[in-house]
């Protein structure tokens, strides 16, 4: 009786071991084939548990096998996602998101969601010095996966010659016949709203980075206002900090309420 129990128990353990390795191989195949691109969130453990008709413990073991091989990773608030190099955006110079993607070996793409000439929100009207603006809202993709939600405003008279196809193809820096001097950029952490979560394909409430940028001409006039929302697990902002005597905090960083 004892021998029979040991043999049955050993058989069960072997079946479970084989099963989570089988699942790991199936998921690996999806990643390697490109069905799951870098940065993409995987289905939830419960969804995969239902798909493969196994327990969540078995699914987690399979995912841990893939994490050990560097194919997937997990972050609090996101769940499991396909591992890939984050886009590092240096803040020492004015550059587009697409420049950073290409530098990381990614293929950038834009999808314009909204293109409208309209009355500006109060803060945008104040920054641009005009009540009428062109507003463009778009999704930026990296290798086909959502990477950022970007909304850009410029004065209506500056953008009157532009079309939806123009702003889907090229950045405003190339489309406006203005010499730019630089920009002021403010970055903060937040949680994804329902709309943002849907567009970025992340869970509602998951960490995002919000960036507001005002771009100035060489005359010192603000000509662009833009707001960017990045999924935190795919984005890094890099700042080179000079050494400053008698400082207890990095230069340029301040606390906000």
More confident site: 172 or 86:
172
**What pLDDT was estimated at residue 95?**
64
The pLDDT of 61-76, averaged and rounded, is: 82
Provide the 10 A C-beta neighbour count for residue 82: 20
* pLDDT computed for residue 253 by the predictor: 55
* Confidence category of residue 159, pLDDT binned at 50, 70, 90: very high
How does pLDDT run across 122-148, given as a tens digit for each residue? Answer: 999 999 999 999 999 999 988 888 889
pLDDT per residue over 71-122, tens digit each?
Answer: 888 777 677 877 766 666 655 565 677 777 777 777 888 999 999 999 999 9
| 233 vs 13, residue with greater confidence | 233
Q: Which of 203-212, 218-227, 228-237 has the highest mean pLDDT?
A: 218-227
Percent of the chain at pLDDT above 70?
Answer: 79
- Judged against a pLDDT cut of 60, whether residue 8 lies above it is answered with no
174 has pLDDT over 60? yes
Q: Among 32-41, 210-219, 241-250, where is mean pLDDT lowest? A: 241-250
Domain boundaries, the chain: 2-82, 87-238
> In Å, how far from its chain's centre is CA 253?
23
- Residue 142's alpha-carbon distances to 33, 34, 156, in angstroms, are 17, 13, 30
pLDDT at 2: 47
Q: What is the mean pLDDT of residues 141-168?
A: 92
pLDDT at 128: 96
Which position has the token pair 């995912």? Answer: 63
Domain 2-82 shares a fold with domain 87-238: no
Q: Is 86 helix (H, G, I), strand (E, B) or coil?
A: coil
Distance CA 210, CA 194 (A): 15
Check whether 226 has a pLDDT greater than 90.
yes
Name the average pLDDT for the chain: 81
The CATH number, out of the four listed (3.30.930.10, 3.40.640.10, 1.10.10.10, 2.60.120.260), of the domain defined by the range 2-82: 1.10.10.10
Is it the case that residue 6 has pLDDT exceeding 50?
Answer: no
* Two tokens, residue 252: 């340029």
List pLDDT tens digits, range 241-252: 666 565 555 555
pTM of the model: 0.71
d(CA 151, CA 213): 10
- From the options 3.40.1410.10, 3.20.20.10, 3.30.420.40, 1.10.540.10, give the CATH code of 87-238: 3.40.1410.10
């Amino acid at each position: 009786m004892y021998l029979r129990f040991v043999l049955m128990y050993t058989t069960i353990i072997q079946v479970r071991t084989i099963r989570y390795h089988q699942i790991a191989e199936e998921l690996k195949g999806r990643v390697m084939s490109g069905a799951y691109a870098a940065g993409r969130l995987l289905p939830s453990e419960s969804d995969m548990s239902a798909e493969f008709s196994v327990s969540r413990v078995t699914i987690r073991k399979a995912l841990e096998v893939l994490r050990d091989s560097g194919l997937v990773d997990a972050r609090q608030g996101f769940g499991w996602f396909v591992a890939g190099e984050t886009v590092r955006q240096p803040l020492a110079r004015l550059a587009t998101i697409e420049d950073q993607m290409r530098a990381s070996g990614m293929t950038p793409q834009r999808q314009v969601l909204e293109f409208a000439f309209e009355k500006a929100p109060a803060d945008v009207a104040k920054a641009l010095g005009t009540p009428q603006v062109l507003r463009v809202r778009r999704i930026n993709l990296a290798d086909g996966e959502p990477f950022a939600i970007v909304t850009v405003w410029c004065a209506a008279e500056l953008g009157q010659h532009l079309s939806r196809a123009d702003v889907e193809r090229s950045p405003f820096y190339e489309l406006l016949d203005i010499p730019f001097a630089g920009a002021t950029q403010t970055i903060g952490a937040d949680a994804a709203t329902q709309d943002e979560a849907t567009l970025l394909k992340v869970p509602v409430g998951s960490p995002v980075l919000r960036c507001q940028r005002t771009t100035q001409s060489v005359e010192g006039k603000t000509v662009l206002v833009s707001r960017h929302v990045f999924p935190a697990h795919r984005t890094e902002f890099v700042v080179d900090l000079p050494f400053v005597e008698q400082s207890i905090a990095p230069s340029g960083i301040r606390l906000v309420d």
